[in-house]
Structure 1
Amino acid sequence: MADILVTGSAGFIGSHLAHRLLARGDRVIGLDNLNPYYDPTLKQARMARLEALPGYRHAKINLEDREAVAALFAETKPHGVVNLAAQAGVRYSLEHPAAYVDSNLTGFANILEGCRAAQPAHLVYASTSSVFGANGKLPFSVHDPVHHPITLYAATKLANESMAHSYAHLFGIPCTGLRFFTVYGPWGRPDMALFKFTDAILKDQPIDVYGEGRMQRDFTFVDDIVEGVLAALDRPAAVNPAWDPMAPDPATSGVAPWRILNIGNSHRVELMRYIQVLEEKLGRKAKLNLMPMQPGDVARTEADITDTRSALGYAPKVLVEEGVSRFVDWYLDYYKAG
């Protein structure tokens, strides 16, 4: 049994992770400010489910509130920290850059300072496949350089990886950054494609399909993401003794207990196939509004999870047919739709 601080605990991934931690006997300190980026009633419903369970306590704090975050670390002295709180959304960053600076940069700096003071056994934090940016080499490997992010959201996450390395080096805090690939599943975010597609199809409204439907994504079910996070949390990062400063590996470090891992399904699925699976589950055809690529979008993603399998024993299990079905079952029950 351990005290684990989970930031973003009322969020999509954070709420699933908190449930798994509680189920295995850990105590969870949840931090979330319930911001209105999307429907806060969904966040409140996730949080209500957690607060009904023994071992969970909630702190409604803004991540960028330095004094409040520091006080929480000082009071709770968590054994482990999982930072999932962030201003999410690629497209939103085009119009609201300050939100990303506040939450993803200032907020993450506050988490690092809290870890500096409390010295947890491990800090695990969410990065994103978006950091690969203009890189077209597939599958995306953590050993490839990522110097060309194409959105501010991705740039802030890339900055988080660098910030964590500096703190791991200077203060000995083991840090693992996890690059998530297109997460979906029950209790998901309303701004994401599967949620929007389901809502529109049930209302007999057209869905906007970007890239004329030719985009491919490494869709990763939330349960597989959570299993990866748990496995990482339980295996703190260490210095890589084979690291060569003359040929530095971007995924590990010879001077800090720090690493980067991909958490994905490792299979590309065409967007039109994703939509087809949804149509089959709903028993309805979608009205397609084919659109060009949007700024900040990439044509394809696919995770190379070789290192993740080796380091964590990570083995994603859920294919899109099962994952979409489980999402729709939750959606129809939660919204009493159909």
Structure 2
Amino acid sequence: MSASTPSLLAAAREAAAHQHYPQGALYMVATPIGNLADIGLRALQVLSLADTVACEDTRHTASLLQGYGLHKPLLALHEHNEAEAAQTVVQRLQEGQRVAYVSDAGTPGVSDPGARLVSAVTAAGLRCVPIPGASSITALLSVAGSPRTGGWDGRFVFAGFLSPKAAERQREVQHMADDARACVLLEAPHRIEALAKDLAALGERMLTVGRELTKQFEEVAHLSAASFPAWLQANAHRTRGEFVLLVHPQAADKAEAGALDTATQRTLDLLLTELPLKTAVKLCADITGQPRNTLYEAALARRKDRQAEAD
């Protein structure tokens, strides 16, 4: 990319320089998730204007900026010093500087440092400006489809990184099993095998696995949750690199199968006559073993029916 750097920066100025970039503002800049060519023109313009670039890793960011022919003063701001370094950023903004913040890849503040920085800047009455760009989440969603269900409505839950603690992670996976919606996860290479083992409990529910997206060894696979551990083990290279995963929504026939049977519905109705809704749902789940989400939806529907009858 270095050979075309002058023309790239000129293109950024031509496309984005007409916009106003106020001083004394923090710019949250999305950077490529692997391929340097995915940088946005607004991101380049902001980085070229910044007085300081705060970043998760100064060595990584120095290399990134050098790839675009940029050299800027860097300030380390990561998960271990974010609170303290945020105050340094606030001070520089109060002096009228433009400060850009970048994480190692993607959008800062989304499963990366940056959220506490934004809170500190906002609390000081200063402005935060988002500069969007590459995202592993939307990249995977764009090629996920829904092979088993024939399409879906695009709604999903973003869970990010699940707990590194086995028991808590297994509880989080159980919540996914009880939820018919799609769910997006992120995972690091050193924990992907443990996550795959836990996700296998979802059985035939479909996954789309993205590994090393936008990089040389990019891989996207569609497979059942039950087969995920075997897929990883089939090739030693598959446990390397960063992962983003989509747990697909439950198939329509599976969701319909979750409708309450007569005995469970009667138990829920009896509890609802004596207890608040959430308490009734909890006790009914304990008694019947049915998923809380299913019971909660049934309880809301029952309450709506009763209100309609009363009207």
Which TM class, normalised by the smaller chain length? 0.3 to 0.5
**Which has more helix, going by share of residues?**
2
Indicate the structure (1 or 2) with the bigger Cα radius of gyration.
2
Q: What TM-score do you get using the length of structure 2 for normalisation?
A: 0.34
Q: What TM-score do you get using the length of structure 1 for normalisation?
A: 0.32
